[in-house]
Amino acid sequence: MTRLAIFDCDGTLVDSQHNICTAVEEAFATNALAVPPRNAIRRIVGLSLVEAMRMLLPDSDGALHERIAKDYKDAFFRLRSTGAMAEEPLYDGITDLLSRLSAARWMLGVATGKSDRGLAHILSHHGIAGHFITLQTADRHPSKPHPAMIEAAMREAGATPGTTAMIGDTSFDMEMARAGGVRAIGVSWGYHATTDLVEAGAHHIVDDTGALATILEQL
């Protein structure tokens, strides 16, 4: 039996909110738009960029959403290339959790609104890339909560919905899990309130990686 645990990245594996918020703020300023408050920006973390901009600017047209998404990418790359990017730390216990699951023969994957390049940088920087056998990003899939990332991850791992769990910090992750027919596990340390996760269909909410490991071991 193949057991597959799929992790979101931002807000679940790493705390990247400062850099994401800064890049959004720069992209909006570049277009002479009022900068959204950071609590609004945190609400869109996890979505693909164009979809995120659509949520922040629901009354604007698609061309503007596309332009701001590009400006976001440019701002993010500039932050990284100039050394101005803040540290994006792993959350407490993530390294030990991944090692524990790998030792227990879990297949591990990532499903994220990041690009391939952005995800590869994060995983390599923290030395955890080797734990994951399937990586699904916004470069190749529709935005969450569409289940395409989960479906592709299951195909690559040889897993079924009954042996797969999606772990994330946003309502988009929980909705995607439900749409893909897999177990939805919400983490409380990320960017959406636990009430949002429950309303979006989370089967479980966990407050730390120890509790997450315990739930996974029971599946």
Residues with a known catalytic role: 8, 10
**CA distances (Å), origin 160, targets 4, 8, 27:** 8, 19, 40
> How far apart are the C-alpha atoms of 90 and 14, rounded to whole Å?
4
E strand map for 75-141: 107-111, 134-136
CB contact at 8 A, 5 and 101: yes
Beta-bridged to residue 134, according to DSSP, are 109
**CA distances (Å), origin 46, targets 3, 59, 71, 143, 158:** 24, 21, 18, 8, 25
> How far apart are the C-alpha atoms of 49 and 209, rounded to whole Å?
28
